[in-house]
Amino acid sequence: MVSRTIPVDTFDLVLFGATGDLATRKILPSLYRRFLAGQMPQDARVIGAARSKLDDAGFRKLVAEALDEFVSKSKRDKATIEAFLNQCSYIAIDAKGDSGWAELKKSVRDEAIKAFYFSVAPSIFGTLAEKLRSHGIACENSRLVVEKPFGTDLETAKKLNADLAASFDETQIYRIDHFLGKETVQNLMAVRFANVLFEPLWNERYIDHVQITVAETVGVGGRGSYYDKSGAMRDMVQNHLMQLLCLTAMEPPSQFDPDRLRDEKLKVIRALDPVGQKDVVRGQYKAGKEPSYVEDAENPDSRTESYVALKIGISNWRWKHVPFYLRTGKRMTKRMSEIVIQFKETSHSIFDRDEGSMANALTIRLQPDEGMDLSVTIKEPGPGGMRLVNVPLDMSFAEALGPDGEEIPDAYERLIMDVIRGNQTLFMRGDEVEAAWAWTDPIIEGWEERGDRPQAYAQGSSGPEDALMLMHRDGRRWRDLED
Ligand code: BG6
**Structural domains of the chain in order of their starting residue, each with its CATH number:** 11-147 (3.40.50.720), 180-409+429-473 (3.30.360.10)
Ligand 1, atom 6, lies closest to the CA of 235
Please, what is the angle between helix 258-271 and helix 242-249, to 10°? 100
CA of 179 to the centre of ligand 1 (A): 8
330 is in an annotated binding site: yes
For residue 337, the ligand 1 atom closest to its alpha carbon is: 16
Ligand 1, atom 8, lies closest to the CA of 235
Helix H or strand E segment including 375: strand 371-379
183 vs 466 pLDDT, higher one: 466
Q: Best of 235, 241, 293, 336 to mutate for ligand 1, by most ligand atoms within 8 A of CB?
A: 235
148 is in an annotated binding site: yes
296 is in an annotated binding site: no
Highest mean pLDDT among 149-158, 218-227, 348-357: 149-158
CA of 391 to the centre of ligand 1 (A): 32
**237-289, pLDDT tens digit by residue?**
999 999 999 999 999 999 999 999 999 999 999 999 999 999 999 999 999 99
Measure CA of the first residue to CA of the last residue in the chain; give whole Å: 32
Confidence (pLDDT) at 2 = 44
Q: Best of 236, 339, 365 to mutate for ligand 1, by most ligand atoms within 8 A of CB?
A: 236
Confidence (pLDDT) at 354 = 63
The answer on pLDDT for 403 being more than 60 is no
Confidence (pLDDT) at 356 = 57
Mean pLDDT, range 35-59, rounded to an integer: 94
282 is in an annotated binding site: no
Secondary structure in 3-state letters for 367-413: ECCCEEEEEEEEECCCCCCCCEEEEEEEEEHHHHCCCCCCCCCCHHH
For residue 179, the ligand 1 atom closest to its alpha carbon is: 14
CA of 433 to the centre of ligand 1 (A): 18
Ligand 1, atom 13, lies closest to the CA of 179
The answer on pLDDT for 349 being more than 60 is yes
For residue 235, the ligand 1 atom closest to its alpha carbon is: 6
51 is in an annotated binding site: yes
Q: Do the Cβ atoms of 230 and 236 come closer than 8 Å?
A: no
Helix (H, G, I), strand (E, B) or coil at 50: strand
Residue of 408, 332, 329, 341 lying closest to 368 (CA atoms): 408
178 is in an annotated binding site: yes
CA of 240 to the centre of ligand 1 (A): 9
Instruction: Find out whether the beta carbon of 235 lies less than 6 Å from any atom of ligand 1.
Output: yes
The answer on pLDDT for 64 being more than 80 is yes
Instruction: Find out whether the beta carbon of 147 lies less than 6 Å from any atom of ligand 1.
Output: no
Catalytic residues: 240
> How distant, in Å, are the alpha carbons of 174, 258, 264, 425 from that of 255?
20, 9, 11, 11
CA of 216 to the centre of ligand 1 (A): 9
pTM of the model: 0.94
Band (pLDDT 50/70/90 cuts) for residue 1 is very low
The answer on pLDDT for 454 being more than 80 is yes
CA of 331 to the centre of ligand 1 (A): 13
Q: Do the Cβ atoms of 26 and 412 come closer than 8 Å?
A: yes
Secondary structure in 3-state letters for 9-20: CCEEEEEECCCC
Residue of 287, 286, 293 lying closest to 224 (CA atoms): 293
The answer on pLDDT for 223 being more than 70 is yes
385-392 own/partner pairs: CB under 8 Å, 24+ apart: 386/351, 386/352, 387/354, 388/351, 388/353, 388/354, 388/358, 390/356, 390/357, 390/358
Helix H or strand E segment including 128: helix 125-134
E strand residue ranges, 221-306: 280-285
Confidence (pLDDT) at 238 = 97
Residues in the chain: 483
The answer on pLDDT for 317 being more than 60 is yes
Q: Best of 179, 293, 336 to mutate for ligand 1, by most ligand atoms within 8 A of CB?
A: 179
For residue 218, the ligand 1 atom closest to its alpha carbon is: 10
d(CA 105, CA 102): 5
**8-21, pLDDT tens digit by residue?**
889 999 999 999 99
d(CA 259, CA 207): 28
